[in-house]
Structure 1
Amino acid sequence: MAIASLIFIPIWFVAAGVNLYIGVNEAGYSFNEELPVFLLSFLVPTLFAITIYWKVR
């Protein structure tokens, strides 16, 4: 479980980055409009994964 939470972080970064790319290039939002969404969608699950890592480790 601890290793899985660390593997999750870069995979989730790519997924959030794809979401950012689609929001900017396909949906027509500006980068500044999409940046808060990217930060929330990446940081909240990442902090949760780090918390799991430290508790399970």
Structure 2
Amino acid sequence: MGDGSTMALAAAAKWFIPAWFVGAGINMAVGVLKAGYSVAEELPIFLFVFAVPALVAGLLWWKFGR
């Protein structure tokens, strides 16, 4: 089932999730530190910004990582 391209896609998705978490965290930090939003205001945005792409990557990892 898994040729080289699907395994590469699964590996990329696996590495994307923690990298995206860091990127979304930096986005949240900029919102709090530079734009003046509170953590409580930024947290729902962080969760959405992180969760949607991470969910897609997780599904790709699950589907092609076997």
TM, length-normalised to structure 2: 0.83
Are residue 42 (structure 1) and residue 50 (structure 2) matched?
yes
**% same residue:** 53
TM, length-normalised to structure 1: 0.95
- Cα deviations across residues 17-45 of structure 1 (Å, max 9, x unaligned)? 00000000000001000000000001111
Structure 1: runs of 5 or more not aligned = none
Aligned residues: 57
Structure 2: runs of 5 or more not aligned = 1-8
Q: CA deviation at 1:54?
A: 1.3
Q: Which residue of 1 aligns with 2:3?
A: none
Quote the RMSD (CA, aligned, Å). Answer: 0.6
Please list every run of at least 4 consecutive aligned residues from structure 1 whose deviation after the TM superposition is greater than 3 angstroms.
none
Q: CA deviation at 1:56?
A: 1.2
Pick aligned residue for 1:54 from 40, 62, 66: 62
Structure possessing the higher radius of gyration over alpha carbons: 2
